[in-house]
Amino acid sequence: MYKNEYLNKILVNVKEKCAEQKEFINAVEEFLDSMDYIVGSDPDIEKYAILERIVVPERVVMFRVPWVDDNGKIQVNNGYRVQFNSAIGPYKGGLRLDPSVNLSILKFLGFEQIFKNSLTGLPMGGGKGGSDFNPKGKSDAEVMRFCQSFMQELYQVIGPNTDVPAGDIGVGAREIGYMYGMYKKLTKDVTGVLTGKGISFGGSLTRTEATGFGLCYFAEELLKTYYNDSFNGKNVVISGSGNVAQYAAFKATELGAKVVAMSDRNGYIASEDGIDIEFVRNIKNERKSLVDEYVKKYPNTKNGKNTHDIWKIKCDIALPSATQNEINIEDAKALVKNGCKVLCEGANMPTELDAVKYLYENGVIFSPGKASNAGGVAVSGLEMSQNAMHLSWTFEEVDQKLKEIMQNIFKACYETASKYGEPKNLSLGANIAGFLKVYNAMKAQGVI
């Protein structure tokens, strides 16, 4: 229950109309919590029906993705693009390929993306897409045929000035390359409709590293502000071992921390001496199992199959970077008990709402993914700028811009949270700061 009746009406309506969409309802609920601080003092939010509109995607496209496997058998998957909000720029957001993908998950991700993209300060609206295709165990040729078929439908609704997809879980350089190739063939357009492209065909340097690096730049700023401290000498637990986790591990180490545990969907590894990050990257580049391969080389490594057990590993800083709902209330209790002081989300909503509340009440500084993982989409925005200008910046230039953007995002969240009397509530700061820009744009553009 919110203090404000208008918010209760919005939530009841979303719960009724999207009853099956658990993840989406969670994301809306978390956002509305913060709106309770501002709707009372700004009647225009209700007058212009901003919240009624903001919780409904502008457009959702769902399509069939047929493809032929290596045995000549026809396979069919579901494809989606959720074009959530274009108030401040073209729809922008990743594509996820994972068997768990459904409309609820993509709507939650697209909704979060609206505020994340707004926080970057770049002109990008929010969107998300993907398919329930499982890339695990597929050959390169199968992945290519799937990506080509997926793009044969998707190309109709995207474009460099309308909707610009990128990677997410299960979508990296290989998939973006195949999709870009098919888009180019169908449209004859080479102006960069996807971000995360290969460097030789319009990709930006630092995009691969951007989310993980950005996460650490954000966390470094947070540590300085709240604790007058830094990564130096800290023990860090990072869940996942994909794109975000690998580069977060690399940057945290460069900043003087020790990464003591990592995971993939089959289990976790932990070592007080620190994880061999380069080796983790090699294992995952070969698309192999983290635990099996790691213990072959380092047989004394602590490990386990239950991915939740990674949160029982003692650490100063936790960077969940695998997927949504990785940290439940029990995991949050274990983190607090072991002295964890900071949790910055690298993934999108890896922490369940009651776990966030528990962390907050027990003094752990928490940052939501929409703020701390915005580095990826920020550099995607920079890739769009470079494509539009037909030039490319150096790694150092992009890295420097990324650092400034992450510092600015932290500052916006911190200052906004402080303005509303809760300086340690970065979720509040992120939601309000992200929302205000979108709200003003929607108000200015009329009832659309």
Choose which of 348, 351, 386, 425 interacts with ligand 2IT (CB under 6 A).
348
47: left (phi over 0), alpha (psi -120 to 50) or beta: alpha
In DSSP terms, 128 is beta-bridged to 82
Contact between 309 and 338 under an 8 Å Cβ cutoff? The reply is no
Active site residue 128: yes
Choose the one of ligand 2IT, ligand NDP, none that binds residue 129, judging by a C-beta under 5 to 8 angstroms depending on kind.
Answer: none
Residue whose C-alpha is closest to residue 55's, from 2, 17, 93? 17
List the single partner that 93 binds among ligand NDP, ligand 2IT, none, CB under 5 to 8 Å by kind: ligand 2IT
* Residue 264 binds ligand NDP, judged by CB under 6 A: yes
Compose the 379-418 pattern: x for residues touching ligand 2IT by CB under 6 A, - for all others. -x--------------------------------------
Total residues in contact with ligand 2IT, by rule CB under 6 A? 11
CA distance 368 to 198: 29
**C-beta separation of 211 from 247 below 8 A:** yes
Pick one of ligand 2IT, ligand NDP, none as the site partner of residue 169 (Cβ within 5 to 8 A by kind).
ligand NDP
Q: Which of 92, 107, 116, 128 is catalytic?
A: 128
- Per-position DSSP letters for 117-142, written without gaps between them: HHHTTSS-EEEEEEES---TT--HHH
The verdict on 168 binding ligand 2IT (CB under 6 A) reads: yes
Candidate list 57, 79, 93, 202; residue touching ligand 2IT; CB under 6 A: 93
Q: Does 170 bind ligand 2IT (CB under 6 A)?
A: no
Which candidate, 321, 301, 424, 419, places its Cα nearest to that of 367?
A: 424
Residue 240, burial from CB neighbour count under 10 angstroms (0-12, 13-18, 19+): buried
The structure tokens 């989406």 sit at 24
Measured distance CA(151)–CA(340) in Å, rounded? 43
Quick one: what does residue 347 bind among ligand NDP, ligand 2IT, none, with the CB cut-off 5 to 8 Å set by partner type? ligand NDP
Residues 6+ apart with CB under 8 A from 400: none
Is residue 344 within the footprint of ligand NDP (CB under 6 A)?
Answer: no
Pick the piece of the chain touching ligand NDP (CB under 6 A) from 36-44, 77-85, 148-156, 165-173: 165-173
Q: Which is nearer to ligand 2IT, 105 or 291 (CB)?
A: 105
Binding site residues, ligand NDP, CB under 6 A: 167-170, 211, 240-245, 264-266, 284, 307, 321-323, 346-348, 373, 376
- Which residues are the active-site residues? 128
